[in-house]
């Protein structure tokens, strides 16, 4: 399902793109991206490698110019200073100024945001706390591990208390504990009414925190919507039955999108809840013995693989 | 103002660069060696008499060395300031902040320009101070002459800043040093042409110095020191026969401005 735009054109959205296209020479990085990210949610931006995610984020951050189409941050074009002041960004591959201490680094970025000295003095210890680097405030960035660099990157992204935070692979260098910290941070930002736009390969992580996702491939959105609705739409039923005849399986195939059968266990994927009784009825009509029948909640990974494979087989 | 913030930051950052530490150490070694040579020469000349005459030659030698080191520093400081920071992703965290790309580019230039100006000016004064110490005479032309060397380094800095907006770091270094060498060579041709009264050679020299006015600034700097001196005093490897017009100073300043405007236009359109 795709988000409708019946509300005011750019009004309540944190991020919106319309028919965004970016070509590098002959290579099309983003083909036709139309995306709506409501405010106050954690939005997962997913897709296989080379799908155009980082390019799309770079367009939103004003690092790359779109070939055509439009992009809006908080209703403003990406180059607009009023948008830049209210947005935070953690780039994917970065190397910060290694000759600075964590504190000096944040002070410089605070000045780039235009924060006054007083404000910086108050805010820097706060964000160092939030990313768990309070004790390392006086350390040179040169001495930081990859995980610590990612944390300090997060700190500069939230330094100005932004309304929207775009995180490009924020946990790629972190261990499981670090990842949990980042999830907690994202939830905290959401509780403060902030919007988090998360590009991540870690689907389990996305599944844990995101309210809404968009899956893109070849620079187009191939699935988007509220995460719980998308997962619920992937309706799977697991059946344990005996005496299932080929004729019964044949009938099940007629009812469903896919049927997998192994050792008396059958997993049937259905389009509609009303098909569940029909499945049970068909099995029994063919003389099968039904021991159990349960609905299985699909995982984001299943959904991801299914929609991407469907797209790529086109 | 964000431009000045970038300039201050760039200046501080440069203080942490190895190339600056290297050039700093090199400069100290140079001044020691230079002082020693001048001392050796004066110890002998003092007995012979023409010490006053040699003061000019020593100053010219020292100033030419400053010019060379200044050129090196100008290029090495800035050769990858955009290109390598795009590669490292450093700019990806800076450009999305509420400042324009113009502030980033001009701020970087200004930071390096401040460092070069201080460095080249102080080193020039040190050179002429060493000569003054032994010869007992100090020429007031040293100050404008040093300022011209500053301008020369700013011309090279601006070329390098322009190059780094669209060329990879190493290619930019090669191109800027290439242009610097071509300017030096055609400057030499111009002097030679003037000596043998070959107008074509002089014209080619002038044309090249319009394209890359670095050597013209160096020649002007040298010729200022030679002004009003006798032929016998001036004769030597740094003698200027064909003095570039003083309008070249205005031209070089304009040239720097135009390069920066072009660099800004390229950088503003570039995908990072």
| A156 neighbourhood in chain B, CB within 8 Å | 93
Nearest CA of chain B to the CA of A150: how many Å? 12
Q: Is B66 exposed, middle or buried (0-12, 13-18, 19+ CB in 10 A)?
A: buried
Using a cut of 0.95, tell me whether the model's pTM lies above it.
no
Contacts of A201 (CB under 8 A, 6+ apart): A169, A172
Helices and strands: H and E segment counts in chain B: 12, 0
Around Cβ A137, how many Cβ atoms within 10 Å? 15
Nearest CA of chain A to the CA of B102: how many Å? 13
Q: For tokens 């700013």, what's the residue?
A: B154
User: What confidence tens digit (pLDDT) does each residue in B62-86 have?
Assistant: 999 999 999 999 999 999 999 999 9
User: What confidence tens digit (pLDDT) does each residue in B145-195 have?
Assistant: 999 999 999 999 999 999 999 999 999 999 999 999 999 999 888 888 888
For A152, name the nearest residue in chain B, comparing CA atoms only: B93
Token pair of A57 as six digits:
């984020």
Nearest CA of chain A to the CA of B105: how many Å? 14
Token pair of A137 as six digits:
């405030």
| B94 neighbourhood in chain A, CB within 8 Å | 112
Nearest CA of chain B to the CA of A190: how many Å? 22
* Residue B64: closest CA among B3, B135, B145: B145
For A162, name the nearest residue in chain B, comparing CA atoms only: B97
Task: Report helix, strand or coil for A214.
Answer: strand
User: Among partner residues A85, A97, A99, which is closest to B98 by beta-carbon distance?
Assistant: A85
Show pLDDT as tens, one digit a residue, over chain A (314 residues). 344 444 444 458 999 999 999 999 899 999 999 999 999 999 999 998 888 999 999 999 999 999 999 999 999 999 999 999 999 999 987 778 889 999 999 999 999 999 999 999 999 999 999 999 999 999 999 999 888 999 999 999 999 999 999 999 998 888 999 999 999 999 999 999 999 999 998 888 899 999 999 999 988 998 898 888 888 777 788 888 888 888 888 888 888 777 888 777 888 888 777 888 888 888 888 888 888 888 877 788 888 888 888 888 87
Instruction: Render B43-102 in DSSP notation, one character per residue.
Output: HHHHHHSTHHHHHHHHHHHHHHHHHHHHHHHHHHHHTTTTHHHHHHTHHHHHTTSSS-HH
| A62 neighbourhood in chain B, CB within 8 Å | 95-96
How many CB pairs (< 8 A) connect A and B?
A: 65
Around Cβ B41, how many Cβ atoms within 10 Å? 16
Q: For tokens 């380094």, what's the residue?
A: B153
User: Among partner residues A92, A95, A99, which is closest to B88 by beta-carbon distance?
Assistant: A95
Token pair of A134 as six digits:
């309070």
CB contact under 8 A, A85 and B16: no
In this prediction, residue A9 carries a pLDDT of 45
For chain B, the farthest-separated pair of C-alpha atoms sits apart, in whole angstroms, at 68
Nearest CA of chain B to the CA of A207: how many Å? 27
Report the half-sphere exposure of B4 (CA within 13 A, side-chain side). Answer: 2
CB contact under 8 A, A91 and B93: yes
Q: For tokens 């080249």, what's the residue?
A: B120
Please answer whether residues B104 and B187 qualify as being in contact, where contact means their C-beta atoms are separated by less than 8 angstroms. Answer: no
| A24 neighbourhood in chain B, CB within 8 Å | 271
Which of A74, A97, A169 to mutate to test binding with chain B, by most B CBs within 10 Å of its CB? A97
- Interface predicted TM-score (ipTM): 0.88
| B13 neighbourhood in chain A, CB within 8 Å | 97, 99
A16-20 contacts at long range (C-beta below 8 A, 24 or more positions apart): A16/A71, A16/A72, A17/A56, A17/A59, A17/A60, A17/A69, A17/A70, A17/A71, A17/A72, A18/A69, A18/A70, A18/A71, A19/A68, A19/A69, A19/A70, A20/A56, A20/A59, A20/A66, A20/A68, A20/A69, A20/A70, A20/A71
């Amino acid at each position: 399902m795709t988000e409708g735009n019946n509300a005011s054109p750019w009004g309540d959205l944190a991020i919106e793109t319309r028919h965004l296209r970016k070509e590098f020479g002959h290579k099309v990085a983003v083909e036709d991206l139309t995306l709506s990210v409501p405010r106050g949610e954690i939005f997962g931006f997913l897709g296989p490698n080379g799908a155009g995610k980082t390019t799309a984020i770079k367009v939103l951050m004003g690092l790359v110019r779109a070939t055509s189409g439009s992009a809006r941050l908080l209703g403003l074009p990406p180059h607009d200073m009023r948008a830049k002041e209210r947005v935070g960004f953690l780039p994917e591959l970065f190397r910060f100024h290694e000759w600075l201490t964590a504190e000096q680094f944040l002070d410089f970025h605070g000045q780039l945001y235009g924060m006054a000295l007083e404000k910086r003095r108050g805010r820097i210890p706060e964000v160092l706390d939030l990313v768990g680097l309070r004790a390392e405030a006086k350390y040179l960035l040169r001495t930081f591990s990859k995980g610590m660099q990612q944390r300090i990157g997060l700190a500069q992204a939230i330094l100005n208390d932004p309304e929207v935070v775009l995180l490009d692979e924020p946990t790629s260098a972190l261990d499981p504990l670090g990842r949990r910290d980042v999830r907690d941070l994202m939830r905290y930002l959401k509780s403060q009414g902030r919007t988090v736009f998360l590009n991540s390969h870690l689907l389990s992580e996305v599944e844990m925190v995101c309210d809404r996702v968009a899956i893109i491939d070849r620079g187009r959105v191939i699935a988007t919507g509220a995460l719980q609705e998308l997962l619920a739409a992937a309706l799977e039923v697991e059946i344990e039955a005996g005496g299932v005849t080929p004729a019964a399986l044949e009938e099940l195939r007629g009812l469903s999108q896919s049927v997998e059968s192994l050792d008396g266990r059958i997993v049937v994927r259905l389009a509609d809840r009303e098909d569940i009784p029909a499945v049970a009825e068909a099995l029994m009509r063919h003389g099968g013995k039904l021991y159990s029948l349960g609905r299985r909640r699909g995982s984001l990974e299943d959904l991801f693989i299914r929609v991407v494979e469907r797209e790529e087989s086109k | 103002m964000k431009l000045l913030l970038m300039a201050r930051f760039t200046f501080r950052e440069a203080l942490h660069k190895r190339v600056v530490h290297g050039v700093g150490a090199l400069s100290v070694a140079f001044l020691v060696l230079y002082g020693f040579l001048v001392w050796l020469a004066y110890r002998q000349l003092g007995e012979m008499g023409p010490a006053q005459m040699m003061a000019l030659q020593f100053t010219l030698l020292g100033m030419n060395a400053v010019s060379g080191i200044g050129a090196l520093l100008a290029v090495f400081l800035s050769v990858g300031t955009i290109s390598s920071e795009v590669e490292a992703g450093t700019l990806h965290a800076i450009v999305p902040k509420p400042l324009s790309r113009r502030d980033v580019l001009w701020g970087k230039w200004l930071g390096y320009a401040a460092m070069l100006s201080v460095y080249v000016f102080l080193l020039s004064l040190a050179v002429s101070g060493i000569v003054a110490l032994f010869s007992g005479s100090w020429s007031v032309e040293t100050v404008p002459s040093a300022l011209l060397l500053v301008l020369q380094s700013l011309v090279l800095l601006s070329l390098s800043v322009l190059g780094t907006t669209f060329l990879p770091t190493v290619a930019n270094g090669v191109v800027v040093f290439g242009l610097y060498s071509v300017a030096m060579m055609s400057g030499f041709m111009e002097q030679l042409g003037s000596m043998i009264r070959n107008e074509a050679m002089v014209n080619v020299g002038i044309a090249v110095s319009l394209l890359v006015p670095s050597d013209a600034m160096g020649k002007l700097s040298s010729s200022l020191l030679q002004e009003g001196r006798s032929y016998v005093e001036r004769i030597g490897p740094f003698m200027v026969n064909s003095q570039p017009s003083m309008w070249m100073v205005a031209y070089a300043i304009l040239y720097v401005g135009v390069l920066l405007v072009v660099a800004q236009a390229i950088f503003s359109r570039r995908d990072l």
